[in-house]
Structure 1
Amino acid sequence: MRISLLLCGILLSAYASRADRLTFDSAAAWESWEAPYGLVQIGDAGQLQLIKYRKNTNVIADAHLFTHKTKTRGDEIPGGIWEAGSGQATADRVIDGDPATFWKPDPDDVVGEWFVQLDLGRAVLAKEIRLKFPDQEGARPFKQFTVFIATGVTSDPLDDLFLFDPVYRTTRPNEESEISIPLRFTSQNTSQVLDPDLNVDPVEKDQYRLVQYINFTVEAIDLEGALAEIEVVGVGDNVSIGVDRRGFVIDGLTSVSNLSLFDANVNTNNAIAPVAFAGRERSWLEQGTWFYADLGAIFWLDEVFIYILKEQEGTAGFIAGPARGFTILGSDGTRSIGTELPVPEPFDYNELLFQPDNCPDCLHYLRYQFQAKRVRYLLWHVHSTSGWNSKWAELMLFSPGHPAEVTMRSNFIDLGEEAGDGRPKVIKSLNWDADLTTGARLQLRSRSGNTLSEVYDFYDRKGEQVTEEKWLSSPKVLRGEIDTSIVVGEDWDAWSEEYKSSDEAFKSQNPRRFVQLEMIISTDDPTVGPTVNALSIDFEDAFLQEAKGSILPRAARPNEDTRFTYTLWPKAEALDSGFDLLRFVLTEAAETNSVEITAAGLTIAPTSVEMLDDSLLVSLPAPIRGDSVQVSFITRVIENATVFSLDLGSSERPDTWQSVEAMQRRSNIVMLPELTGSGLLINDLQVPDVFTPNGDGVNDLFEVRFVAFKIADADPEVSVFDLAGRRRGSLITEQMGTQQRHTWSGRDDKGEQVEPGVYLLRIDLGADAGGDTATRVFSVAY
């Protein structure tokens, strides 16, 4: 089964709108992204959108987009007019959507040839057939006719012979120009509403039937008779179509060929046949009576339909019994610590539906409706392995709207090729223009590198994959193709953190020649979907081809002034402009008058040195291109494994920064050995001895400062107690993080001024271990 939709994972090059901006805003550009098959579409203005799964639509209108395998006509036959016994030239008018056109049989043909047969291109769960007739001179509604339907099951393994059932027959001459034919199974079916609060029309609850072919047959000569339109109203678009191209299915040992359930083709089926053992009954897990499906994206699902073959239906044979008890579990991919389920990855699974053993009713057509749920992964399993011998043709899934979450990835974008010079670039930022209604989200991540590698897959003449060694040792006549895949090189970084806003600074390594982007489009409301109008990468020429550095000493004492020396080794080519700005990112402020610089062994006087927030900014008198540089300064290190980051810039391009990589692994990291294995958590505690909150403007605020080691996001409790142990007040947190600052006005928890006297200050970091508390004595005087 194949459906013709946009964006099927084709990799083409994107187009740059300017030399320093690469923009994705057209069908040609978006085609360079890999997307789950059939889930995104491109609008007329080049905007990227999630598709929307529909309900209650005329499934004939898009029948031509679906193709299927036949016994006699080929493997890729599109839906449409399957056959017309008479009036072949006008038969396609009954599906052209225009009620002003119509089909009339040739009056010279025998009435037995007065029929037209439609192919929906795939098996559809339908609720209604609508007939529309013209009513004008020479073209009136047919008076006597019969409407037949068929699921598409063939009764002959070598021929396209379908089993048709009548669903409507005139019992008196028809004069109506429109006729509605509700569709229902006649037996062995059930429709369940699993959520009591779900608003489902009781009439429509049981109005459904599986259909692929519709036959309209005229029963009596009618020279004015004509048919304008045949419409088939489907329950909804089938999410299962395309699972084979965007996801995968894993079979259990005694439940096999389950990918056939997701192809909308009732001539393919699975087989569920647990083995009977003497003695105790084996569980579904022991027997392997289960299957797992990855749908390839997270969907909003609100309905499931299962079609189970009967004995001797089509070519199923005699081993085709009804469904017994089973459960389907669903997951949206939320991680769990572990699982005992037979699934590739540990996710949280919840019950999607529970079907008790339905025999002796022995049902074959099962429909379930429920509140919309986020689902990507399915796990089906039986309750008991006893009594099963079943063949299922279809497991259809339906959605109330847009997919819940779709992940796309760009190809490897060669910025050097886009610029025409083959050189690494400084990637400044990612920019996007998106329409995000309430609940809709756009998430972006990046990674970058300078090299790409090739991976080879070897195949023999039969198309089976073999090792390179076996391929090389085989005779040439037995060798098959070699597939080449492009993968990231060793210098690529991991995927970055998520970008929070458009025009945010690039989060991956810089400068780099290649970049790859990952975009996650999601919605919490299936009725609305995000639209991405454009996505751009802004980049510029790098100051240097490469810049690496390291810090010394690599170890220091906690919270103690230390002179560090950062050595930079730049690598430049003739076209590189060099740098004259350095930006160090520090966890603690550096002493600006302590900065000393040498280049190629010569001392350089910086034109300016300043500390802005967490950055030490150093300006040089002239650009440097190829000489090694050493920058020395005094600062403190409080956190173990502190990274000393350096960015290079130019006064001519003040908004562009090029990051410096570590010369060797961890060579830009400083350790604090004294903290390793130590229980020291509170350091440099500063508490005034006397506090005088008398309103004279001097010493009216009690201020406590300290350093908190090894406590991520520490939120300490700092309180005041009297000598009897009664709590008298709490300090207000003024500064969080490693450097803590807390203040107190001298008022208790009721807002009243405390009496003069001696008090205790207590700090509690709330750590699980170590010296996380401290107590100090101070006095309040007036």
Structure 2
Amino acid sequence: MHWPPGGKYAYQPVADVENLEVPYQLRYNHTMERRKVRHLFFRVAHGLYRWGRGEIKLFEVMIFGEGYPAEAVLTSQPVDLAKLAGSPGKEKLVSRLRWEAEQALFPVTRVEVRTRSGDALDTLKAYYKKIGGKLDEVTQEEYYRLKKFLRGPIEVRGFKPGEGWSRWSPVYPQLGPFLSPSPNKFAQFQVKLLTEDPNRAPMLRGLYVELTNPLVRRITGAVVPREVREVDRPLAYTYRMWPEADPGDPGFDQVLIRAPVVGDTVRLEINGREESPAFVEMGSDSLWIGLPMLVKGDSVLVRFKAKVAENGIVFDAFVGTAGVWQRVDPSAPKATLIFLPTLAESQDLIGNLRVSSIFTPNGDGINEEAEIVFSVLKVEGKEPEVAIYDVQGVLVQELQKGEEGRYVWNGRDESGDLVPPGVYLCRIRVDSDAREYTVHRTVGVVY
């Protein structure tokens, strides 16, 4: 290993001990502030040193911590859904997932639940070599290179996801539709228990799934366009869905699309005919449409507008009826993924920035506030920091996000007093996992 360890490790030096003088130090204790640690690296910086008949080298390391771990990951074995529902051999639809936990200090303590699903399992086997009257575990390759009289038993230890399984889903809300492809024969569940405070930890009390027969045997979908050049701008998208139904399938009369929807215009087509939706409900991240009829085998097309600010965002869709939801699977790999090549090529994390250059907070009701509007690109789940400073770099006020994601400065400092007229600096900072990105703009205060 190269030193310092590079590549995927974000490391911090903890201690550097010189042990060059006789008598050599044989024991070393180091105490550091509590921190999140996943890997510890050690090295002997100056090689080995001879002392009498022996050698001094790193022999044993003991690590002690306090409090709860920052992260604990619990992963289930693949679950046979049909067997769980009491009908072996018949595919079942996971219509809903629910979990209960204690996370009173959210987001300091939190629970994250993910799933994946598939139809094939691979067997986990252990191979043993006979050595006298004992058995020694070996690899599969080593086992089949042995002479037959040296081959011991083969033990089946369990099963693991096989070919064609989906990736881990996004994090679930505490109650919502199943986010992995369904119906499928098997599902796997993963729970992460996370805490930012070593003295407090979340507790998972239960994880529940609702199983039912599929609404249709299979339904696939695709989005166009899949490659766009406009970042965080309203653009028209078309989501097409193709259901395949068996006799007796109940069908569906609702469509839910998870996407950054904007505007108030939605068009619906069923089997090539334009139809009026029974209802339309829009949120900042979803579009819920009621169909005027029960659909089983007819194609469904939905046209809507959305603003995409992240490269590689997936437009997930579900069909449902009477509270039961079935996921729409992509008709081809990446068929529901939106790619923004201009965003992938750019290093910017902040786009479409608009800052009021001059405002007059004098109480006359005209131009009283400075408005800061921007889009956060490529980063999900982290709030930007927006603050006002004077020209000496002294903090004047930290701003909080307001309606429609806007930030507003009223010309006052942290104490609520109006600031003197002059030029001030607006700093916007976004932290990603890889780096920090900061933008500055000037704001003029005039009375």
User: For this structure pair, what is the TM-score category when the shorter chain's length is used for normalisation?
Assistant: 0.5 to 0.7
CA shift in 2, pair 1:330/1:411, >3 Å: farther
1:662 alignment partner in structure 2: 330
Query: How far 1:620 sits from its partner (Å)?
Result: 0.9
**Does the 8 A contact of 2:388 with 2:395 survive in 1?**
no
Q: Does 1:486 align with 2:152?
A: no
**Does the 8 A contact of 2:111 with 2:202 survive in 1?**
no
**Does the 8 A contact of 1:551 with 1:667 survive in 2?**
yes
Q: Does 1:716 align with 2:386?
A: yes
**Does the 8 A contact of 1:700 with 1:745 survive in 2?**
no
1:414 pairs, out of 77, 80, 84, with 80
Counterpart residue identity of residue 563, structure 1:
A
Q: Does 1:636 align with 2:280?
A: no
2:286 alignment partner in structure 1: 615
Q: Does 1:561 align with 2:234?
A: yes
Query: How far 1:580 sits from its partner (Å)?
Result: 1.9
Q: In 2, Cα distance between the equivalents of 1:586 and 1:706?
A: 21
Q: In 2, Cα distance between the equivalents of 1:340 and 1:707?
A: 44
Alignment of 1:163-562 (within 5 A): 335-336=37-38, 339-340=41-42, 410-421=76-87, 422-432=90-100, 445-451=113-119, 452-459=121-128, 462=131, 463-464=135-136, 479-484=151-156, 485-493=158-166, 503-505=174-176, 509-511=180-182, 512-517=184-189, 535-541=206-212, 542-556=214-228, 557-562=230-235
Query: How far 1:416 sits from its partner (Å)?
Result: 1.2
2:356 alignment partner in structure 1: 687
Name structure 2 gaps, 5 residues minimum: 1-19, 55-67
SS at match of 1:675: helix
CA shift in 2, pair 1:691/1:431, >3 Å: same
1:397 alignment partner in structure 2: none
- Scaled by the length of structure 2, what TM-score is found? 0.65
Calculate percent identity across the aligned residue pairs.
21
Q: Does 1:581 align with 2:254?
A: yes
Name structure 1 gaps, 5 residues minimum: 1-279, 285-323, 343-381, 389-401
Counterpart residue identity of residue 715, structure 1:
E
SS at match of 1:417: helix
Query: How far 1:429 sits from its partner (Å)?
Result: 2.5
Counterpart residue identity of residue 585, structure 1:
R
1:742 alignment partner in structure 2: 407
Q: Does 1:672 align with 2:340?
A: yes
**Does the 8 A contact of 1:426 with 1:510 survive in 2?**
no
Q: Does 1:596 align with 2:267?
A: yes
Q: In 1, Cα distance between the equivalents of 2:71 and 2:339?
A: 41
Query: How far 1:419 sits from its partner (Å)?
Result: 1.6
Counterpart residue identity of residue 336, structure 2:
N
2:440 pairs, out of 746, 751, 773, with 773
**Does the 8 A contact of 1:705 with 1:740 survive in 2?**
no
Work out which structure has the larger RCO, using CA pairs closer than 8 Å and 6 or more positions apart in sequence.
2
SS at match of 1:674: helix
Q: In 1, Cα distance between the equivalents of 2:236 and 2:285?
A: 17
Show CA shifts across 1:237-264 (max 9, x none). Answer: xxxxxxxxxxxxxxxxxxxxxxxxxxxx
CA shift in 2, pair 1:499/1:384, >3 Å: farther
SS at match of 2:227: coil
CA shift in 2, pair 1:596/1:496, >3 Å: closer
CA shift in 2, pair 1:677/1:337, >3 Å: farther
**Does the 8 A contact of 1:583 with 1:648 survive in 2?**
yes
Q: In 2, Cα distance between the equivalents of 1:675 and 1:403?
A: 36
SS at match of 1:558: coil
Query: How far 1:622 sits from its partner (Å)?
Result: 1.8
SS at match of 2:250: coil
**Does the 8 A contact of 2:95 with 2:178 survive in 1?**
no
Counterpart residue identity of residue 91, structure 2:
R
Q: In 1, Cα distance between the equivalents of 2:49 and 2:175?
A: 52
Query: How far 1:663 sits from its partner (Å)?
Result: 3.6
1:24 alignment partner in structure 2: none
Query: How far 1:474 sits from its partner (Å)?
Result: 7.2
**Does the 8 A contact of 1:447 with 1:516 survive in 2?**
yes
Counterpart residue identity of residue 646, structure 1:
A
Show CA shifts across 1:634-679 (max 9, x none). Answer: 22223333332223222x22xx433334344433232333334446
CA shift in 2, pair 1:586/1:760, >3 Å: farther
Q: In 1, Cα distance between the equivalents of 2:410 and 2:123?
A: 67
CA shift in 2, pair 1:530/1:491, >3 Å: same
Query: How far 1:539 sits from its partner (Å)?
Result: 1.0
CA shift in 2, pair 1:455/1:428, >3 Å: same
**Does the 8 A contact of 1:442 with 1:519 survive in 2?**
no
Query: How far 1:405 sits from its partner (Å)?
Result: 9.9
**Does the 8 A contact of 2:216 with 2:243 survive in 1?**
yes
Query: How far 1:475 sits from its partner (Å)?
Result: 7.3
Q: Does 1:764 align with 2:427?
A: yes
**Does the 8 A contact of 1:444 with 1:517 survive in 2?**
no
CA shift in 2, pair 1:518/1:643, >3 Å: closer
Counterpart residue identity of residue 483, structure 1:
E
Show CA shifts across 1:23-76 (max 9, x none). Answer: xxxxxxxxxxxxxxxxxxxxxxxxxxxxxxxxxxxxxxxxxxxxxxxxxxxxxx
2:319 pairs, out of 637, 641, 648, with 648
Counterpart residue identity of residue 581, structure 1:
Q
